[in-house]
Structure 1
Amino acid sequence: MSGAWHWSCASGQQRWSPGFPRLLGLAPRSVTPSYALFVDLVDPGDRGPIASPSDALRGHVLPRALLRMIRPSGELRSLSDLSELRLLPDGRPLAPSGVALDVNG
């Protein structure tokens, strides 16, 4: 299972593909995509290297991360996330985005 996410720095709006909430154990379109919701589902032991929302919007995103997620059902899953940051011509961050893969199968 896989999913994608996108976050516009200018508007703050986030978009998740239908597969991304499924990775998190959520029904597609059942929640509003948000970084806070994503971080809340990350195992507390894996939150250390994750950027704060303001740091993420300034372009401080991990290019690769392996994170344990705790789904609302209590099920533990591991996600591999690959992120990239698109920049404006002047070097300011435009939008972080990425894809995630459930490495549990």
Structure 2
Amino acid sequence: MSVVVRGRSTRGMCSAVLSFEAVMMLLSILVLNGFSSVTVPVATAIGVGMAVACIVAIGGLGHSWGYGLGHALQVAMIAMGLLALPILFMGVMFAGLWVAGYVIGMRIDSARAAAARAIR
């Protein structure tokens, strides 16, 4: 039976993805203004709100709710892509990076935990 281990590798990889995603969310304000019928205040609220949510998720990665928020943000970004097609492509790309960072980070952390148990 394998135990889910979320340590510093998982946190580091997921925080890197969320950091770049926060920057992309701020840049998405311009994309929403150019490629959709969303008004400037609405586009700004969506972009800034998503960027702030990414930063909050980074802060929460020390707890399980941070990863849940990160998963939800990936779904929200893909849903945001329904407003503008370029954001959909970026949403799919970031969701793939998120899954890769999450899975690879957990594998590294599990291997570290197993090695630490073997040394004891």
TM over 0.5: no
Q: When the two structures are superposed, what TM-score results if normalisation uses the length of structure 1?
A: 0.33
The structure that is strand-richer by fraction is: 1
The alignment's TM-score, normalised by the length of structure 2, stands at 0.30
Q: Which has the higher contact order (CA 8 A, sep 6+)?
A: 2
